[in-house]
């Protein structure tokens, strides 16, 4: 559940942004603090998917989509790519450890990084047309995600047909296999 402070901050930001656009003046910065991360993580824990976004972009039509992506361990994001329209995606670990994995067209792992801000691995940029997934290892993991916009649900992601779909029985075995082959978890 989003705190009253976060709800007020979001409403204030949306109103301020609309006013700024009308007046063509500079808007106030959006602050990403412990309270915001904690509230987004609490919403992720309460979600059946064990993850939750907190969007900073005001509309899906924005050309740069910016969000917090709070994830709990073993929340499954089916490998996908952003193609037609082509989009890049960037992840920065703000809290916790997150594995970012890239694949070729057949589902073979071509690269990975363990994002861990405490060890100096802060982020990863995924090129357009590249299959990828992310997996949180620690409770309360939060990534700052940036992706080319606009967002249109019908063509935002091209899911890999070689990976199980979210909710299928094979998901946990697939996830643990990915972790074994990348970080030896």
* CATH number of 97's domain: 2.60.120.10
**pLDDT at 19 exceeding the cut of 80:** no
**pLDDT at 24 exceeding the cut of 90:** no
Examine residue 37 and state whether it is found in any structural domain, yes or no: no
* The total number of structural domains that make up the chain: 1
Mean pLDDT along residues 113-118: 97
Torsion sign across C-alpha atoms 172, 178, 181, 185: negative
Examine residue 35 and state whether it is found in any structural domain, yes or no: no
Residue 1: band (very low, low, confident or very high) from pLDDT cuts 50, 70, 90: very low
Sheet holding 89-95, edge to edge: 51-55, 64-71, 141-148, 89-95, 123-126
Examine residue 77 and state whether it is found in any structural domain, yes or no: yes
Domain that holds residue 146: 56-182
Mean pLDDT along residues 130-143: 97
Examine residue 6 and state whether it is found in any structural domain, yes or no: no
- What is the rounded distance in angstroms from the CA atom of residue 177 to the CA atom of residue 185? 9
pLDDT per residue over 55-76, tens digit each?
998 888 888 899 999 999 989 9
Query: 167 near 98, Cβ under 8 Å?
Result: no
**Between 109 and 61, residue with greater pLDDT:** 109
CB hemisphere CA count around 129 (13 angstroms) = 3
pLDDT of residue 84: 84
Query: 143 near 93, Cβ under 8 Å?
Result: yes
**pLDDT at 100 exceeding the cut of 60:** yes
Examine residue 34 and state whether it is found in any structural domain, yes or no: no
Examine residue 120 and state whether it is found in any structural domain, yes or no: yes
């Amino acid at each position: 559940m989003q705190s009253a402070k976060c709800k007020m901050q979001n409403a204030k930001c949306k109103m301020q942004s609309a006013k700024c656009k009308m007046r063509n003046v500079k808007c106030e910065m959006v602050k990403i603090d412990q309270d915001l991360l904690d509230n987004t993580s609490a919403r992720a824990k309460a979600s059946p998917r064990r993850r939750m976004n907190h969007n900073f972009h005001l509309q899906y039509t924005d050309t740069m989509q910016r969000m917090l992506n709070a994830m709990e361990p073993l929340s499954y994001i089916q490998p996908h790519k952003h193609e037609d329209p082509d989009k890049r995606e960037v992840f920065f670990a703000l809290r916790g450890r997150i594995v970012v994995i890239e694949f070729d067209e057949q589902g073979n792992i071509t690269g990975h990084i363990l994002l861990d801000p405490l060890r100096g691995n802060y982020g990863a940029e995924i090129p357009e047309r590249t299959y990828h997934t992310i997996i949180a290892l620690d409770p309360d993991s939060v990534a700052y995600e940036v992706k080319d916009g606009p967002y249109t649900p019908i063509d935002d992601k091209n899911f890999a047909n070689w990976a199980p779909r979210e909710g299928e029985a094979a998901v946990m075995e697939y996830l643990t296999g990915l972790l074994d082959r990348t970080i030896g978890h």
